Amino acid sequence: MNTITKNITEKSIYASNNGMYGPYGGMFVPPVLEQKLLQLAEIFESQKGTSGFEQELAYYLKSFVGRPSPLFYAHRLSKHIGSKIYLKREDLNHTGSHKINNTIGQILLAKRMGASEIVAETGAGQHGVATATAAALFGMKCKVFMGSRDAERQKMNVSRIKMLGAEMVIVEAGRGTLKNAVDAALGYYIEHPDVFYLLGSQVGPHPYPTMVGYFQSVIGREARKQLLEAEGRLPDNLIACIGGGSNAIGLFTDFLDEESVRIFAAEGGGEGPVFGKTAATLSMGKPGVFQGTYSYALSDEAGEVYPTASIAAGLDYPGVSPQHALLKDTGRASYHLITDKEAIEAYYLLSKLEGIIPAIESSHAIALACKILKGKPNEISIINLSGRGDKDVERDLS
């Protein structure tokens, strides 16, 4: 496989022009995809920031997605923890999560590239729903790959994807999780390089991490403005869950240069810090090439990826964003393992205290807040509530 990795000593927490975050990132792909991805990178760079593209994106984010999403002062959760907490309500977006921000952005690029077919992977199903939604909006053919285990535990989203007119491809390989869905989607992309691969998280080869981070950065821009209006100052802490890293970087980006703002992310810890029983990539993994990029991965000395386990399908992934890898190494952000048990407790806690049922993925961030914010009444924090929990209500979470 080829790679385009230059300037690997660059220490910026932002991507260089070729998608490197320090030593992380790059494009590790077969030659058949290299030119396609370079073309996508060129289109993205030529369109972002232009009035025509940004106005169209802003129109759909406002009138179709429903942005800006509210910043809600969670007064009962704040009282319970002993610290002032705001929730960035990405769960109120059309389709129920942050994923729609990215799918609208990418499908506008697909339209400009003349694409007629969209392909995507999904874990919790939220990206699959958001992709199928965007494809329906623009009248494009859509194929969504989903692991068999994830399809079983996220049945409602499978039904939504089909209702929106997309073709569901259930992947039986491996453990039937997000990793296997990505493998299958990438395989289809290699065999059909004329389709547009709409990747859902901040992972994969360049330009996807940069592109996804750009489209999700609207979360943090809004949150910053909203908190300044509510409190007259910046937050002390930001907290988000992290699988691949898109919702987290969406909240974090606008605050990365603010040294007074501490940044925390909650990983899908599964049963705990045991290889094969966790998906806590940054807590337990090491750098290596995985699914087209160089970043942290849960792998052994031979580079073989360990099976992962998390109650949250959207966090059940052995890789992670190259930007988050650098944020970990530089100490700008800290990453914490949250177990299934802790996430389930937080899932019910927020539901009962605030009348908000969070996605089990987002519940990891609530659980982390409960651990690190206790007894800090003078601090203000923003938790990114990345998705709603309708999809998890009928699951046995015991």
Q: Which CATH number goes with the domain that contains 154?
A: 3.40.50.1100
Which one of the listed residues 36, 84, 99, 277 is annotated catalytic?
99
pLDDT exceeds 90 at position 1 = no
Domain of residue 360: give its range: 67-97+217-392
Mean pLDDT lowest among 14-23, 27-36, 312-321: 14-23
Question: Are 75 and 221 within one domain?
Answer: yes
Kindly report the number of other CB atoms within 10 A of residue 9's CB atom: 7
Total domains, the chain: 2
Sign of the Cα torsion 269, 273, 278, 279 reads: positive
In angstroms and rounded to an integer, the radius of gyration of the C-alpha atoms of the chain is: 19
pTM of the model: 0.94
Whether 2 shows a pLDDT value over 80: the answer reads: no
Average pLDDT, the chain: 94
User: Residues 121, 267, 342, 361: which is the catalytic one?
Assistant: 121
In a domain, 9, yes or no: no
Q: Quick: pLDDT tens for 26-75.
A: 999 999 899 999 999 999 999 999 999 999 999 999 999 999 999 999 99
| 238 plus 105 within the same structural domain | no
Q: Is the pLDDT of residue 12 over 80?
A: no
Tokens coding 191: 């065999």
Residue 362 falls in the annotated catalytic set: no
Residue 205 and residue 350 in one domain = no
* Residue 231 in this model has a pLDDT that exceeds 50: yes
**Which of 190, 213, 236 is the last residue in one of the domains?**
213
**pLDDT in the model for residue 301:** 87
Catalytic annotation on 121? yes
Would residue 6 count as lying in a domain? no
- Tell me what percent of the residues of the chain surpass a pLDDT of 70: 95
Residues 126 and 269 in one domain: no
**249 shares its domain with 377:** yes
Choose one of 213, 232, 249: the last residue of a domain: 213
Which is catalytic among the residues 246, 310, 386, 391?
386
Say if residue 49 is in the same domain as residue 79: no
**Has 117 been annotated as catalytic?**
no
Q: Can you tell me the distance from the alpha carbon of 20 to that of 43, in angstroms, rounded to the nearest whole number? A: 18
pLDDT digits (tens, 9 = 90+) for 244-266: 999 999 999 999 999 999 999 99
Of the three residues 167, 187, 213, the one that is the final residue of a domain is 213
Q: Is 5 a member of any domain?
A: no
Give the containing element (helix H, strand E) for 122: strand 117-122
Q: Which helix (H) or strand (E) holds 208?
A: helix 208-216
Q: Is residue 10 part of a domain?
A: no
In this prediction, residues 365-386 reach a mean pLDDT of: 98
